[in-house]
Amino acid sequence: MTVPDAHLPALRPGEECLPGGPTLQPEARLCFIGRVRTPWAPGDCPRNIGAARDSGEHARIELAEGYAKALTGLSVGQAVIVIYWMDRARRDLLIQAPRHADGPRGTFALRSPNRPNPLAMSTVEIRAIDLDAGILEIDALDCFDGTPIVDLKPWLPTIDAPPGGAGS
């Protein structure tokens, strides 16, 4: 990770890295439970979920073989959290200078895909469920077509809303 792969973005002024990059745990491996289907490819992907929603383009979650049953109990109109894997990101950035931000900031104060574990998440709304096929139609998502999904969770106010109104 000290010499980043050619496909990773170069450092911008003010950005800082973790020397040597993160230490990956051999025992903490992820499985891909499915893929996101969107109309987006590198070059035309909305910058955030708000822009993805504004585009009017919906998205779809296609579960991998065998996982369909695990959707049992979800319902149309429900909010779910999608956690997905941004495999084209840098994992060594501590301080980042995103183009839209007003200066360099810490990785854990940003939603950038560049982070020690490139997990991205958004809360979306279920528009349709095909329990046999393992497919959820959702309102929108701001990621490339084919992005691997690692988890789906029901959004619950007691766990997922800011406590005491913080941050809202």
Kindly tell me which residue out of 54, 111, 133, 146 binds a copy of itself, with binding defined by CB under 8 A. Answer: 111
With respect to a copy of itself, which residue has the nearer C-beta, 24 or 41? 24
3 state SS of 99:
coil
Residue with tokens 């046999």: 132
Judged by beta carbon, residue 13 or residue 168, the one nearer a copy of itself is 168
3-state class (DSSP) for residue 84: strand
Q: How far is the CB of 163 from a copy of itself (least distance, A)?
A: 5
Distances 159 to 84, 154, 156, 163 between C-alpha atoms, Å = 19, 10, 6, 9
71 forms part of the interface with a copy of itself (CB under 8 A): yes
The DSSP string of 85-137 is E-TTS-S-EEEE--TTSSS-EEGGGS--S-SSS-EEEEEEEEEEEETTTTEEE
User: Closest distance between a copy of itself and the C-beta of residue 42, in Å?
Assistant: 19
Residues 6+ apart with CB under 8 A from 67: 33, 34, 134
Q: Which CB atom, from 41 or from 70, has the smaller least distance to a copy of itself? A: 70
* Using rule CB under 8 A, residue 135 touches a copy of itself: no
Token pair of 13 as six digits: 């002024």
Residue 130 bridge partners (DSSP): 135
Nearer to a copy of itself, 9 or 111 (CB): 111
Nearer residue to a copy of itself within complex by CB, 41 or 121? 121
What is the spatial distance between Cα 147 and Cα 157, in angstroms, rounded to a whole number?
Answer: 27
Site string for a copy of itself, 24-63 (x = CB under 8 A): xxxxxxxxxx--------------xxx--x----------
Binding mask 86-105 for a copy of itself (x = CB under 8 A): -x---x--xx--------xx
Compute the least distance from the CB of residue 62 to a copy of itself, in Å: 13
